[in-house]
Homo-oligomer: A and B are copies of this chain.
């Protein structure tokens, strides 16, 4: 992830370590603007209906089209992580969700992402398909398709959610995923630039 041209003035950039910095950056020799590239936050929520079922979405977009997830996507400017999670729930599943507590913080360094997954309560039973989700479905724990989960972050978050609920002790879980330690079928994939892929 870097830049060829200055996004301020359009001049070709140079890559070098700025004074007082420690890593090479994309620096504009014409206007001195520096472009930084930093990890991105993915905000998600496990939406729970009052009968205990949770809302799952079948991905209608790459990567992992056809596999299942709860609503999650890239955090936007000017919002909190909880606001972002509620926005994603509406965009991906039409669900109005009260996002109420943090469930898991998961580092995915090999794609420079941090997942912040929340618990949420559906304010109404309404949900439905969207451009991002070909199908949305309320599921009991027994109905979760564990072998068809889109990402390991989602898989781990769901395990945390159900374990905490069974124990009656909601917690905030932290986890770092490493590429090497996972079954290749369960690798996170870099989504590159397109935000819309989440």
Contact = CB atoms under 8 A, between A and B. Distances in A.
Contacts of A1: 77
Given A91-B22, A116-B114, A174-B172, A77 B8 contact: no
Interface residues of A, number: 58
Interface string A1-37: 1011111111111000010111101100000011111
A134 interface: no
Contacts of A83: 109
Given A5-B7, A20-B196, A38 B172 contact: no
A88 B6 CA distance: 27
B8 A5 contact: yes
Contacts of A105: 81, 102, 105, 116, 172
A7 B21 contact: no
Contacts of A20: 61, 131-132, 196
Given A8-B5, A20-B131, A172-B102, A38 B75 contact: yes
A57 interface: no
Given A41-B41, A41-B114, A79-B109, 12 more contacts: A1-B77, A3-B8, A5-B6, A7-B35, A21-B196, A38-B38, A38-B76, A39-B41, A75-B114, A81-B105, A82-B107, A105-B105
